Amino acid sequence: RAKLTDAQKADRRSKNILLNEDLTATQKGYIDSARSLAKKHGRSVSWTKSQLFIGGKFTRQPLPQGRRWKLRDYVKAHMTTLQHDYRKLNSSEKNILRQGLDKTQEKRVKLVRSNPKAMAKYVDKTFDDMDRDWTGIANRTSMQMMYLAVRSGVDQLHEPKM
């Protein structure tokens, strides 16, 4: 793993300090607003905080089945309206829309997800199966054998299986 330069360390440190300051300010504002609400309505601060916390859960809940759309389904259901509105745009507006879509497509990061633990288990099982096969061949033929397996690069090297 590459070490960070002093400039990168200073940059990360300053970003971390700014993040901590923003979080502290937000928490302070949250506590102040909870206190003012509690005083206004004659409730305790802890009760008000718990009500605010519960309210946050409701905002993160998904919409009911009839009120949410997948993009593909939305486009299918509103195809004529979308096409009609698109035809109304002049050529410069269409170009701006296309360029915006191209920019968002370029910015989109394609993630390749891997599960290192699952990969390690798969490699271990494969080596165990291969070791069993090679041991059987060695016993039948009275030969000594050695195998070496390499996958990808050096950074993905697994410990030797003997």
Any idea where the domains of the chain sit in the sequence? 1-61, 65-110, 116-156
pLDDT at 22 over 60: yes
The overall average pLDDT reported for the chain is 81
Q: For residue 94, what pLDDT is reported?
A: 92
CA distances from 116 to 19, 109, 120, 152, 160 (A): 30, 20, 6, 14, 17
Phi-psi region of 152 (alpha: psi -120 to 50; beta: other; left: phi over 0): left
pLDDT at 10 over 90: yes
Task: Compute the chain's Rg from CA coordinates.
Answer: 30
Helices 6-41 and 45-60: crossing angle in degrees, nearest 10, is: 120
Residue matched to tokens 């609400």: 37
Buried b (16+ CB within 10 A) or exposed e, 134-143: eeeeeeeeee
CA 75 to chain centre: 26
Mean pLDDT, residues 33-42 = 89
Residue 62 and residue 68 in contact, taking contact as beta carbons nearer than 8 Å: yes
Q: Could you report the per-residue pLDDT of 54-83, keeping only the tens digit for each?
A: 766 555 666 677 777 788 888 899 999 999
Residue 86 and residue 95 in contact, taking contact as beta carbons nearer than 8 Å: no
Nearest residue to 52 via CA among 36, 34, 27? 34
Give percent above pLDDT 70 in the chain: 80
What pTM value is reported for the model? Answer: 0.31
